[in-house]
A and B are shown apart, each in its own frame.
Chain A
Amino acid sequence: MKSLAQLKSEIEAAVTGARLEILPNPAVPAQSSLRVDPAQASAVARFLRDTPQLQFDFCSNVTGVDWPERTEKVKLKQVVDGAEQEIEETRSSLGFLEVVYHLYSVALKDGPLILRQRTVNRSDDCRVASLTPIWRSCEFQEREVFDLFGVQFTDHPDLRRILMWDGFVDHPMRKDYVEPDDYEYEPTPHDEVLERAQQHYPTQEAST
């Protein structure tokens, strides 16, 4: 397979407006990935599938990754009034959701090529481009990412929940998902069970 840098320049030459970024993978360098903008994702994917030298005809795996907001304290050395001082600075990075595609070529027995798309944030703008029109294998897997992570795929033909039921509201694979308390009714609660019963049925406890 061509190196990612070669592939990147080829794609950028062929697809107008495409800007790609190589994300290195320190553990398995051969599995570094290409980050593509959602706006050009579908054109880039079509190029990868239809170019005779590449022929990535098989999209094996589609999955989501949740990267929540992070704040970290960084110690900086700064020269203030001629004397060096250590200043603590908090840097926060915006959270986002990421969708990862593992592509292989069955015709050329090649791969994997890893594509990534990122959403703007995790709350009100979670859109990325659906690649189902290019690879049918994304259909159920993108539905699963929508279901469990809450990523909105534009142009997906049938975007519904697939593993959770239709009335479910949250997205359980997100890192900040809070599980519902699975309190089981007991006729004679005591000790910590009583405490949990009071949390679970606060109004009922107040009335008795």
Chain B
Amino acid sequence: MNLPAQRAASFQPRYTPNGTEQDGELLEISLGPQHPSTHGVFRMDATLDGEQVVKLKPVCGYLHRNHEKIAEGASYLAAMPYTDRLDYFCSLTSNWAYALTVEKLAGLAVPERAEYLRIITAELTRVQNHACVCGFLLQDMGALGTPLMYAFREREKVLDLFESLTGARMMCNYLRFGGCRNDAPAGWLDAVSQLVASFPQFLDEFEALLTTNEILLARTQGIGPLTPELAINAGLTGPLLRAAGVNYDLRKVDRYGFYDRFEFRIPLGDHGDVYDRYMIRVLEMRESLKILEQALKSIPTGPVMDPKAKLRGFRPKAGEAYGRLESPKGELGFYLISDGGPNPYRYRIRPPSFINLTLLEDMCLGRPLADVVVILGSIDIVMGEVDR
């Protein structure tokens, strides 16, 4: 019989052997896939020594549906709605990256008004994405509700504009090869102007609440710093790269669309930590508003589709093309190989938020577990794009 007293008497305590570096045992924690701070179904296998992270392996693929294979079995145009589902926060920039690559592959021209509409929708997308990321970052730090809901209130105004232009709030499916699907409805551009005029007020309020907030400073400054050399070598792009102080924005480097017609600056950080990433996003929103103001003033009238563009029976000649643009998350690229058939022979997406995860472990090593959540929040991942 195993009575409690007998069991206690026979209990042999186990000790870790003397002379080892670690006094206790390592603790393995699986964070996710269902965890509010992982921004979707994403898992991190973390190993902790006390409070410190000594190993952290990201595990993804829970949302994998092999988007690339689906697109290789469909016509070029039929893949366009699927690109909405990649980064469901920024469907219009995903549309544009795909349209840009197909236009490069087939040598199609885009009318001037359509290019302006693309820039306006892309910059609106950037503004609402960055506002929400800052809100989510604060949410991850425990500021439940207020910052995120303020950001969502502004995002809703942008989504209303998307709905009246494209018919959908998030799954816009708006661009076509050689232009845009439809012209802006009457009064739409005025509504955008109103939003652009009122947005700085929101940003001022948002910054007054947060930028010098003691808790935000304590939780973000000096957390997860990156050197410029490592950031470039690991292929980080977007606000993460610029927060590390690297002046590399594809709107300036590749000058796709008509970005060379507008005046705007590229904000750069100098520590590469989480606070810089937050600040870069706030400053980029202000620059995007400048681009929007200029674009709304100078948008020409005219057609929005190239009359020579073919929607049905579209077969680009054999060859390949790699096109990329600056999406709110970073460099979003598409790589297409055509064999002259109606569907792409190879269709590949270069997902920025997937590649930005490369350095997650490096940034988290030696930090307490609570910082892992903040660092992940500052990377800005969307699982629809990471897993494809």
Contact = CB atoms under 8 A, between A and B. Distances in A.
23 contacts: A27-B318, A27-B321, A27-B338, A28-B105, A28-B319, A60-B235, A60-B331, A61-B350, A65-B346, A102-B350, A135-B233, A137-B233, A140-B354, A140-B355, A140-B357, A141-B355, A148-B68, A162-B60, A163-B60, A163-B61, A163-B64, A172-B66, A173-B68
Contact of A137 (B69, B107, B358): B358
A27 B335 contact: no
A61 B335 contact: yes
Given A25-B319, A27-B319, A163 B235 contact: no
Contacts of A112: 322
Interface size on B, as a range, is 35 or more
A135 B235 contact: yes
A162 B61 contact: yes
Contacts of A137: 233-236, 355, 358
Given A28-B104, A102-B335, A163-B60, A139 B319 contact: no
Contacts of B253: 109
Instruction: Give 5 nearest A-B pairs by CB, closest first.
Output: A27-B319, A137-B235, A136-B234, A163-B61, A61-B350
A45 interface: no
Contacts of A28: 104-105, 319-321
A148 B318 CA distance: 24
Contacts of A138: 235
Interface string A156-186: 0000011111000000110000000000000
A9 to B, nearest CB: 24
Given A162-B60, A173-B66, A26 B335 contact: no
B66 A136 contact: no
A58 B324 CA distance: 14
B337 interface: yes
Given A60-B333, A162-B61, A163-B387, A136 B320 contact: no
A65 B337 contact: yes
A141 to B, nearest CB: 7
Contact of A27 (B60, B64, B69, B105): B105
- Which of B246, B357, B358 counts the most A-chain CB atoms under 10 A from its CB? B358
A133 to B, nearest CB: 11
